[in-house]
Chains A and B, each alone.
Chain A
Amino acid sequence: MTAAIEFRKVTRSFGSVRAVDDVTLDVAAGEFFSMLGPSGSGKTTCLRLIAGFELPNSGHILLDGVDVSDVPPYDRDVNTVFQDYALFPHMSVLENVEYGLKVRHVAAEERHKRAAEMLALVKLSDFGERRPNQLSGGQRQRVALGRALINRPKVLLLDEPLGALDLKLREAMQIELKALQRELGITFVFVTHDQGVALSMSDRVAVFDRGRIVQVDTPRGLYSRPRNSFVAEFVGGANVLSAKLASSLLGLATPVAVRPEQMRILPAGASGEAGWVACPGTVADSQYHGATLRVQVRTSDGQLLTVARPESSEGDDSVRTGAAVQVAWPRTSVVELETERG
């Protein structure tokens, strides 16, 4: 089966900056695929390359096996939900949704029918006559979604579509989007800097750093087997132990990652359990997060480790700032990482 989207050694530079640097990538048809990375990592440029708003300086982009590297956006079977929604302010909601059909010369009757169906799908049937500026953020998002889906694209691109919504709405939209994708069977490419959103919604996630893809994996794979310290820290919020610390504690030559919830704090003098690694340090800070308490411990060579532990109702003196403690974790929880490129 041909991939829905294929990048072959794609590079896109702006001046001297390589926004997308030699990226090779396959997205399977019907997949919910996320592009995750901090701002400026090249994920949005990748999305724009798929849409056709940017053309690659070198390399090839294939949609459904066809090379579209030089094809303008209006000839690509791909639609986009924009970060700012980009609804046409001078058109009603219905006209916005119809737009894709209108410019493709679909007869008015058919157009109205399909637009009405689409409005029903995004639960805006009663809002067809309104103007975009008369809608709430969540409703605008649905209009943008409906407008992008009306042409029945093979691929739907979503550029941080949840960024402008408040937490509750965001969670509701997340569930709805996922349900919609399952129902329509369209390939979704979802750009986000929010690792929580990416992990919870995606079939696979590509992690971007400085224009390159560091790792492509399932959410579980990314979380449990991060390839390097960037992925470990950005996706899992993991503690990355330098190669030096790792070799003195574990006898390993590479940096390693240990997730905060797998670490424990022990009293300074306690002897470790079998199969556990312990490292002395002092408590630098702690934050209360409701269900968990996150404690930062500074090791003797200055590295800061974060420990997350379930919050117990009885207060605990051992995590006072400045207290001498040990941080311990099971040897099996250690993930060896690749040494990162400069």
Chain B
Amino acid sequence: MNVTGGGALSAAGGWSRGLSTFFYRRPNQYVLLLLVPPLLWFGTVYLGSLFSLLLQSFYSINDFTAEIVREPTLATYKQLLTQPAHVDIILRTMTMAIAVTVACSLIGFPVAYYMARYATPRMKTFFYIAVLLPMWTSYLVKVYAWRLILAKSGMLTWLLDTIGLGRALDAALATPVIGGPTLASSYIGMFIVFVYMWLPYMILPIHAALERVPRSLIQASADLGAKPGQTFRNVILPLAFPGVAAGSVFTFSLTLGDYIIPGVVGAPGYFIGMMVYQQQGLAGNIPLAAAFSVVPIVIIAIYLTIVKRFGAFDAL
């Protein structure tokens, strides 16, 4: 043992060494020190605001004075769920969110599957960048760019005309409800923009889930006599499902909460996000805005419960 060396070390270490030793001997206090600031932030700012939002939704507004009555009541929820206009908004938003989620998972799964199982490292890097690149750009720029792409004399219409699919576009736009005068002012256009916007949020979790499926499991399935389709259904899909579930929570809740895209692209008709924005801003009806905000939370909670029932998280 080198006694002189040890002495020099402890002299040089000073108080910081003493502090390190203190925490080394008391790992619990170290963890506490690490966690207290984020927990405080999370607790007050995040959960606190969520709680106050929930609380607001149980208040009501006095129709004459436009003042908030701070007494617990279900009047606001009654208003939310009985007025046909409000129910329309909820159903419209949910339908769009479901359609966007389904489309994102149908488009996202093959891309993620290719990235996870077949792409060479080079190709994988390219795909990562391609998936993430749109997220480096301003959200508003992308939305307005899409309005131009979808406009009557825009790129997409021109492209479809050029390849001879102009007629198909006209037919699609003639469809009641989802159609409209142009792509930019139809639900089809809005749907396209939503899918474009949220696709990365679907691809990345599915990719992460697929990456974690060991190759040997797929080989074991084939080895036991399963044809590729059976292996996909029995092994790959169940194991990737937590990723699909996570991705769909993203696409679903992002669509439910968005208030810009429905205002820039698509047919007139309010969405939940726009309603929240308007009620708390212009109308000053905070309780109704809060009640509208609770809707996505409840829907997502129900969705997760159902997904869990189907065993989506069993493999976690």
**A residues at B contact (CB < 8 Å):** 51-53, 72-74, 78-80, 82-84, 86-90, 99-100, 102-104, 147-148, 150-151
Contacts and interface: CB of A to CB of B under 8 A. Distances in A.
A232 to B, nearest CB: 34
A103 B230 contact: yes
A300 B163 CA distance: 86
Contacts of B216: 82-84, 86
24 contacts: A52-B222, A52-B223, A53-B219, A53-B222, A74-B224, A74-B225, A79-B223, A80-B219, A80-B220, A80-B223, A82-B216, A82-B219, A86-B214, A86-B220, A88-B234, A89-B239, A89-B315, A99-B226, A100-B225, A102-B234, A103-B221, A103-B234, A104-B225, A151-B224
Contact of A90 (B223, B225, B230, B311): B311
Interface string B210-238: 00001011011111111100100011001
B314 interface: yes
A90 B222 contact: no
Nearest to A80: B223
A103 B224 contact: yes
Contacts of B227: 74, 103
Interface in B276-316: 311, 314-315
Nearest to B312: A90
In the A-B complex, the 6 residue pairs with the closest CB atoms: A100-B224, A86-B216, A86-B220, A103-B226, A73-B222, A90-B315
Given A84-B216, A104-B225, A99 B315 contact: no
A51 B226 CA distance: 13
Contacts, number: 69
Nearest to A72: B222
A82 B239 CA distance: 19
A163 to B, nearest CB: 14
Contacts of A86: 214, 216-217, 219-220
A178 B238 CA distance: 36
The secondary-structure label for the interface of chain B is helix
A103 B235 CA distance: 11
Contacts of B222: 52-53, 72-74
Given A82-B219, A90-B311, A103-B234, A147 B214 contact: no
A73 B219 contact: yes
Interface of B: 214, 216-217, 219-227, 230, 234-235, 238-239, 311, 314-315
A90 B219 contact: no
The secondary-structure label for the interface of chain A is loop
A72 B222 CA distance: 8
With most chain B CB atoms within 10 A of its CB, the pick from A72, A74, A78, A100 is: A74
A83 B220 CA distance: 11
B185 to A, nearest CB: 46
A99 B234 contact: yes
B216 to A, nearest CB: 4
A151 B225 contact: yes
B223 A73 contact: yes
Contact of B220 (A52, A82, A90): A82
Contacts of A89: 239, 315
With most chain B CB atoms within 10 A of its CB, the pick from A51, A83, A100, A103 is: A103
B217 A99 contact: no
A221 to B, nearest CB: 32
Contacts of B223: 51-53, 73-74, 78-80, 148
Contacts of B220: 80, 82, 86-88, 147
A86 B219 CA distance: 9
A90 B237 CA distance: 11
Nearest to B239: A90
Given A84-B216, A103-B234, A90 B224 contact: no
Contacts of B225: 74, 100, 103-104, 151
B238 A90 contact: yes
A14 to B, nearest CB: 14
A99 B224 contact: yes
A274 to B, nearest CB: 58
B252 to A, nearest CB: 23
A87 B217 CA distance: 7
Contacts of A73: 219, 222-223
With most chain A CB atoms within 10 A of its CB, the pick from B214, B226, B314 is: B226
Contacts of B311: 90
Contacts of A52: 222-223
Nearest to A83: B216
Contacts of B221: 88, 99, 103
Contacts of B224: 74, 79, 99-100, 103, 147-148, 150-151
Contacts of B230: 103
